[in-house]
Amino acid sequence: MSIEEKSALRKRLRAEQSTCSASRLEYYSQQIVKRVEQHAAFQSARVAMLFYPLSDEPRILPLLEGYRRSKTILLPVVQGTDIVTRIYQGAETLRQGAYGIMEPQGVEFNDYANIDFILIPGQAFSTSGARLGRGAGYYDRFLSNPSLHAFKLGVCFPFRITENIPVAPHDIPVDEVLII
């Protein structure tokens, strides 16, 4: 799939989402949070990397607040062309960073071998684990770190799951796609 085709797919997905009511998106988000909470890999994780949702992503904020005292919760922070992780210590520690993403200002976490679980947003996922991101490759570069052995769970709204997403050699698939 060419860059133009991926761009057209992203545009079509945004258009589909614009027809979905806010209450429907909230319902999907609540179901996603419940399913993540019930997932064995999340339950057993001591260190979990989540994400602060953008407006077109599932609202997983209950996971951030609900588990920050029982697990080490990490959030991605954009630094140049890469992602680093910082420990989430509460909403009051967040500042708007690159691309309007809320990022923690806390301690950087570099012990990637100890990350047990990563919840990964996507513009779309295939049922086999291929991910369509936003096109900048941040997650692919992060996930290619050889120290990282975490379980990778892909998450998006259900209308963004498709049978096929063509992949390039540098694309890193997730271990499982959460389907509600």
Total count of domains within the chain:
1
What local confidence, expressed as pLDDT, does residue 30 receive?
98
Query: What is the helix (H) or strand (E) element at residue 13, kind and residue range?
Result: helix 3-18
Quote the domain boundaries for residue 68: 3-177
Tens of pLDDT along the chain (180 residues)? 567 777 788 888 888 888 899 999 999 999 999 999 999 999 999 999 999 999 899 999 999 999 999 999 999 999 999 999 999 999 999 999 988 999 999 789 999 999 999 999 999 999 999 998 887 889 999 999 999 999 999 999 999 998 888 788 888 999 999 999
Query: For residues 46 and 71, is the Cβ–Cβ distance under 8 A?
Result: yes
Domain of residue 93, CATH code: 3.40.50.10420
Q: How many CB atoms lie within 10 A of CB 130?
A: 21
What local confidence, expressed as pLDDT, does residue 175 receive?
97
pTM over 0.85: yes
Instruction: Please give the C-alpha separations between residue 56 and each of 47, 60, 66, 68, in angstroms, as whole numbers.
Output: 26, 12, 22, 24
CA 96 to chain centre: 17
